[in-house]
């Protein structure tokens, strides 16, 4: 318990600062709250500034030493002491809105890739599983960052003059978690990059091969049945590598009135149906 004499000395010390002179001073200690000084009504600080003195007991030697150092320094902060700056939510509104927009934009791009089923051209079963895991990891981590960005923007809107985000960022668990989530997303993206490049190259090469063949209705018509069957089989195989491609083939087959089983025997397809 702090003695009344010491409390009076603290009040006098507080009032010696012009910013606090005449303000109301409260005390939180000795198992209760009380008004230590009611303040001076003529003072400009009365009703504008309030000081709360909190009595705390600490067993931590470093905190005690730190407090003692502050107490021993007359009238000013100890040399080298940090100057705490309060960053209000309002002041970071712009960058947080940009951040949330970017995170959510990347989530949409990831989701389009994953949910569209275009992870790859399914090179092999093992690689495919790997790519699916990587793609989902990217989408989930991106989604977490998007939600995080939206929650932060929500916190700004809810309390623009508070320093919620500064306090969140100061929380080691929160900041480390978000950092790990971002790192996981980056690892997933980089892991998928070689396959992505390979995939792009395969598409370009195949497209060039088809372009070089100059496939038109006339060229197909000029081929014999065996050649035409080979070309059509290759075309069907190429287009059927993704679910969307298969669906397009089936739709086209239905439109052209070709039975699905016929697609497995391209030699029976006519030029009319093929084009």
Question: Which residues contact other proteins (rule: CB under 8 A)?
Answer: 92, 95-100, 102-103, 106, 109-110, 112-113, 116, 118, 121, 145, 148-149, 152, 178-183, 185-186, 189-190, 192-193, 196-197, 199-200, 203-204, 206-207, 210, 215-216, 232, 235-236, 238-239, 242, 244-245, 248-249, 252, 274-275
> Phi, psi (5° rounding) for residue 52?
-115, 125
Residue placing its CB nearer to other proteins in the complex, 92 or 133: 92
**Smallest distance, other proteins to C-beta of residue 111, A:** 12
How many whole angstroms separate alpha carbon 60 and alpha carbon 40?
A: 37
Residue placing its CB nearer to other proteins in the complex, 197 or 225: 197
Residue placing its CB nearer to other proteins in the complex, 95 or 172: 95
C-alpha atoms less than 13 angstroms from C-alpha of 189 in its C-beta half-sphere: 15
CA distances from 273 to 215, 226, 246, 264 (A): 14, 16, 17, 14
**Smallest distance, other proteins to C-beta of residue 143, A:** 13
Sequence-ordered list of residues with C-beta below 8 angstroms from that of 64, at least 6 positions apart, any chain: 58
CA distances from 79 to 17, 19, 71, 204 (A): 20, 22, 13, 66
C-alpha atoms less than 13 angstroms from C-alpha of 179 in its C-beta half-sphere: 7
CA torsion through residues 93, 95, 113, 183, sign = negative
Angle between helix axes 125-158 and 172-213 (nearest 10 degrees) is: 130
Which residues lie across from 32 on neighbouring strands?
A: 29
**Smallest distance, other proteins to C-beta of residue 161, A:** 18
Contact indicator for 145, 181 with CB cutoff of 8 Å: yes
**Smallest distance, other proteins to C-beta of residue 125, A:** 20
């Amino acid at each position: 318990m702090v003695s009344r004499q010491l409390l009076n000395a603290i009040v006098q010390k507080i009032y010696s600062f012009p910013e606090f002179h005449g303000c109301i001073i409260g005390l939180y200690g000795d198992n209760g709250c009380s008004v230590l000084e009611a303040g001076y009504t003529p003072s400009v600080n009365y009703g504008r500034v309030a000081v709360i003195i909190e009595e705390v007991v600490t067993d931590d030697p470093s905190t005690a030493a730190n407090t003692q150092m502050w107490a021993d320094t007359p009238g000013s902060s100890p040399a080298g002491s940090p100057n705490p700056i309060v960053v209000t939510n309002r002041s970071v509104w712009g960058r947080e809105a940009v951040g949330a927009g970017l995170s959510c934009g990347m989530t949409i791009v990831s989701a389009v890739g994953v949910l569209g089923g275009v992870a790859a051209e399914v090179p092999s079963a093992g690689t495919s599983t790997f790519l699916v895991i990587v793609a989902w990891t990217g989408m989930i981590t991106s989604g977490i960052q998007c939600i995080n960005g939206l929650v932060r923007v929500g916190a700004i809107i809810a309390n623009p003059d508070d320093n919620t985000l500064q306090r969140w960022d100061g929380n080691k668990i929160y900041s480390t978690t978000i950092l790990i989530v971002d790192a996981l997303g980056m690892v997933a993206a980089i892991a998928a990059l070689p396959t992505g490049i390979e995939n792009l190259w395969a598409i370009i090469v195949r497209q060039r091969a088809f372009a070089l063949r100059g496939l038109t209705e006339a060229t197909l018509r000029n081929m014999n049945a065996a050649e035409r069957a080979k070309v059509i089989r290759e075309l069907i195989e190429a287009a059927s590598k993704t679910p969307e491609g298969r669906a397009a083939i089936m739709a086209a087959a239905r439109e052209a009135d070709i039975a699905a089983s016929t697609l497995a025997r391209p030699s029976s397809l006519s030029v009319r149906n093929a084009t």
